Amino acid sequence: MRLAIAAAAAAFLTFPVHADDLAPEAREHARALAQAALESDLAYEITESLTTEIGPRLAGTPQEARARDWAVEMLTGLGFENVRVEDFPMDLWTRGHSIFEEVAITHPFPQELYATSLGGAAATPEGGIEAEIVFFESFDDLLAFDGAEDALEGKLVFVNDRMTAGRSGEGYGWANRKRTQGWVEAENRGALGLLIRSVGTSSHRFAHTGMMSFPAQRLPDIPALAVSAPDADQIERIHAMGETIRVALRTHSGWRGEVTSGNVIAEITGSEAPGEIVIIGAHLDSWDTGTGALDDGAGVGIVAAAARLILEAGERPRRTIRIVLFGAEEVGLVGARAYASARMQDGTVGQHIIGSESDFGARPVWRLSSGVGEHAVGFFDAMQQEMAFLGIERGGNSSGGGPDMIPLAAMGVPMARLDQDGTDYFEFHHTPNDTFDKIVPDEMAQNVAAWAMFTWLVADSDVDFRARPEPEAQDAAEGEPAP
């Protein structure tokens, strides 16, 4: 199977190879690391431990704090150096009651709906709301709605956009606009609340949660919920009958004040250039409805296991490898911003030679993308050649490195990404179904093999990956998914 994948990948190869960019000893060591990774269950075991012993770990909650304790113990136990937590403040939002909100159609056909609040939403008034739905086939229709400023006054806005599945999650950004921006459009027009068809591609009854966006720090005064796809179908069917639809809802979510979260950091100190940092990341927090196995327990397992294999092999890389397990990613990259801000303060942003994050599930890596200076593209071409036996193709050179890398990338830190197959990622993402049983051990081992190769090759190199080109339109086509 893997050989077939590798052969297929080779057949489609169209990038030039600059074999000279990788030192023979580095190649050989990287290959040995990959072989060791393919025989190791360490990443799988780390993710099993996190999801079993901690489980859901919403940003800012005691569960996320327990996850930090767990991470410190795990990283220390694996033999990493300089294991530490960098705290940061954040505003806590919680659901308040249950992940299943009280939502029901009251007219014309009374029926309970399966729905869940979107992150950041306000609660309904204590007795709840009962109002008519105004049906929008798409978010664009809502944007284009030019009724009077109070045209939706006293109504509930429903937005019906569907997401399409794709290997790079390319349908997510588009479908997600209603989740992130819908509330502003609804609230500006006087609506009592926002209901959206669940983002994601599944046909199960769990609605996809996720944080909303807050322009200029404005927070919503209205409730905002996603209803599951089959329940959105129900609304759509009744709407198609020409009936007026009324919905009752009662929610308890809201902002709970400032709390402390943190990023957990660990290192393998470089042998020759310890001040040069290769940063590999994942995020420790998860949504509260699942156990955050794919998002992002898998990433935690993958980067920690890859680094541990390097440690285990005994040979120290030239540069320092820094693992960062970010806090509070799901609620707006709060940990990533805090990390970048702290590095601005201590003046070490420039020491970050390259970065990457694993945060797209646990399916096989199928592509190596880079975001490096033009002179270093050949280095990545050669790296992909080394990875071809894992079924990995070469991507473009405008990768942003992953969600938690965004603040560093914005400061000019070079980036790379080991793109995972996300075709079914949004079947589970941000729902209760994001659980450990969805992970396939062999697929996870393939990830670790790719990560161990990448991490070793960039950390043991003396290539400066900086002088990054301006981001291009290609960015969108390569589908860097939002958090």
> Which residues form the interface with a copy of itself (CB under 8 A)?
48, 52-56, 98, 100, 109-112, 114, 203-206, 229-230, 233-234, 237-238, 290-291, 431-433, 435-438
CA angle at residue 111 from 249 to 212, to 5 degrees?
Answer: 40
Q: Measured from the CB atom, is 180 or 198 closer to a copy of itself?
A: 198
The least distance separating a copy of itself from the CB of residue 205, rounded to whole angstroms, comes to 4
* In contact, 46 and 430? CB cutoff 8 Å: no
The least distance separating a copy of itself from the CB of residue 62, rounded to whole angstroms, comes to 10
The amino acid present at 178, given as its one-letter code, is K
Q: Measured from the CB atom, is 98 or 341 closer to a copy of itself?
A: 98
Side-chain-facing half-sphere of 109: CA atoms under 13 Å: 11
Q: Measured from the CB atom, is 21 or 64 closer to a copy of itself?
A: 64
- The DSSP line for 77-135 is HTT-EEEEEEEEEEEEEE--S-SS-EEEEEESS-EEE-EEEPBTPPPPPTT-EEEEEEE
Gap between the Cα atoms of 286 and 300, Å rounded: 11
What values do phi and psi take at 401, rounded to 5?
A: 90, -15
Q: Measured from the CB atom, is 436 or 454 closer to a copy of itself?
A: 436
Beta strands 129-136 and 156-159, pairing class: parallel
CA distances from 415 to 73, 163, 349, 369, 371 (A): 28, 28, 13, 9, 5
Q: Measured from the CB atom, is 99 or 121 closer to a copy of itself?
A: 99
The least distance separating a copy of itself from the CB of residue 237, rounded to whole angstroms, comes to 5
Q: Measured from the CB atom, is 109 or 218 closer to a copy of itself?
A: 109
- Residue 89 tokens, joined: 């403040």
* In contact, 247 and 156? CB cutoff 8 Å: yes
Q: Measured from the CB atom, is 3 or 241 closer to a copy of itself?
A: 241
Among residues 408, 429, 407, 289, which one has the least CA distance to residue 359? 429
Q: Measured from the CB atom, is 109 or 275 closer to a copy of itself?
A: 109
Query: How many other C-beta atoms can be found within 10 angstroms of the C-beta atom of residue 448?
Result: 30
Q: Measured from the CB atom, is 230 or 479 closer to a copy of itself?
A: 230
Q: Measured from the CB atom, is 56 or 60 closer to a copy of itself?
A: 56
The least distance separating a copy of itself from the CB of residue 107, rounded to whole angstroms, comes to 12
Q: Measured from the CB atom, is 437 or 470 closer to a copy of itself?
A: 437
DSSP code at position 211: B
CA distances from 175 to 139, 196, 242, 258 (A): 8, 10, 25, 31
The least distance separating a copy of itself from the CB of residue 116, rounded to whole angstroms, comes to 12
* In contact, 246 and 107? CB cutoff 8 Å: yes
The least distance separating a copy of itself from the CB of residue 45, rounded to whole angstroms, comes to 11
The least distance separating a copy of itself from the CB of residue 112, rounded to whole angstroms, comes to 8
The least distance separating a copy of itself from the CB of residue 118, rounded to whole angstroms, comes to 19
Q: Is 155 helix (H, G, I), strand (E, B) or coil?
A: coil
Side-chain-facing half-sphere of 245: CA atoms under 13 Å: 25
The least distance separating a copy of itself from the CB of residue 455, rounded to whole angstroms, comes to 29
Question: C-alpha dihedral over 429, 431, 437, 438, to 10 degrees?
Answer: -20
Q: Measured from the CB atom, is 52 or 188 closer to a copy of itself?
A: 52
The least distance separating a copy of itself from the CB of residue 372, rounded to whole angstroms, comes to 40
- Residue 437 tokens, joined: 């049983």
The least distance separating a copy of itself from the CB of residue 236, rounded to whole angstroms, comes to 10
The least distance separating a copy of itself from the CB of residue 110, rounded to whole angstroms, comes to 8
* In contact, 369 and 416? CB cutoff 8 Å: yes
Side-chain-facing half-sphere of 129: CA atoms under 13 Å: 27
